[in-house]
A = this chain, B = another copy of it.
Amino acid sequence: MRSFASDNYAGVHPDIMDAIVKANHDHMPSYGVDPISTEAQQLFRDHFGKDAKIFFIATGTAANTLILKHLTRSWNSVICSECAHITVDECGSCEAIAGIKLIHAQTINGKLSVEAIDPILSGRLDVHQSQPAVISITQNTELGTLYSINEIKEICAYAHSKGLYVHMDGARIANACAALNVSLKEMTVDCGVDALSFGGTKNGCMCAEAAVFINPELGVNFEFVRKQGMQLISKMRYVGAQFKALLSNDLWLRNAQHSNRMAALLAETAGKINGVTITQKVEANGVFAIIPEEVTIKLQEKFPFYVWDESTGEVRWMTSWSTTNEDINEFCFSLQDLMK
């Protein structure tokens, strides 16, 4: 099967699979204190600062929920976009597991802005109301759009001026770095981001996410939250091995560049087909397009992908590190055929 449904339909990058296989020797301490995980954490610190606290975790939902739990007390809320993964796609984990109230700010193209957040913080905030403590942004966003470096800086400066922290859901942060041509450090540390959910799985890993506390004080005691949060994987060396491979030789960046390139190619090729409308600027590895419903149904039989908006017929096509030129050619060939 070849799919444009999601970057997690892809398998594991061969370099990462090799690293997993190579880690499979001898006995090693469990629960994250093995030498491979230690080395992988060091690679993270090369990007996020020598004092950054790094915790490996199994799912992106866990990284988001547990970081936000750790940055809040029960009376605090988190400000996010109305289309944020944490509020739409995590089955109420923030509320049910962490007890957090999520407050939606109005967004344009899935992106928060100081203008959208300010009315929330300037409004009535008394004992009857949950007190915002964190602003959570997704880079790149759930709609495939990107915050510019300046936009992130502006949100961080504003948040800090109000005593709030900034969390970045970076499930696809590599794609964002590739698209903006900036380093992980420029995207986060230099902007003032306090904590990051770093996604490895969608970018070629098997099962590897990380909670990164760029502000190290905020990560104190998170080891308990991770354990209690059911995320302390016992044979952690295999997660460490994935990250070691991903962060070596710029694999994280090369994978992202590739998938972005494939998305651009897909948009370009498909966009030329009569009757296909590309609806969003293609900035990372997602392509949004409008095609007739009957074409969608037939095309999905060969290449799974999701309908984004049933009312308009807008569909979403995701590329990944494993998407090939052939995939795109065959997909577009089928699409063209069906559009006739």
Contact = CB atoms under 8 A, between A and B. Distances in A.
A61 B230 contact: yes
B8 A24 contact: no
A230 B230 contact: yes
A228 interface: yes
Contacts of A105: none
Chain copies in complex: 4
B96 A99 contact: yes
Nearest to A74: B96
B27 A238 contact: no
Nearest to A307: B124
A129 interface: yes
Given A207-B238, A238-B12, A224 B75 contact: yes
Given A59-B234, A91-B228, A96-B99, 13 more contacts: A1-B26, A6-B234, A10-B27, A14-B24, A17-B20, A75-B228, A76-B92, A77-B92, A88-B129, A91-B227, A92-B228, A93-B229, A99-B99
Interface of A: 1-3, 5-6, 8-12, 14, 17, 20-21, 23-31, 58-62, 65-66, 69, 73-77, 88-93, 95-97, 99-101, 104, 127-131, 201-202, 206-207, 221, 223-225, 227-235, 238-239, 304, 322
13 contacts: A1-B27, A3-B27, A6-B234, A8-B235, A12-B238, A27-B304, A58-B58, A69-B74, A88-B128, A95-B100, A96-B100, A96-B101, A127-B227
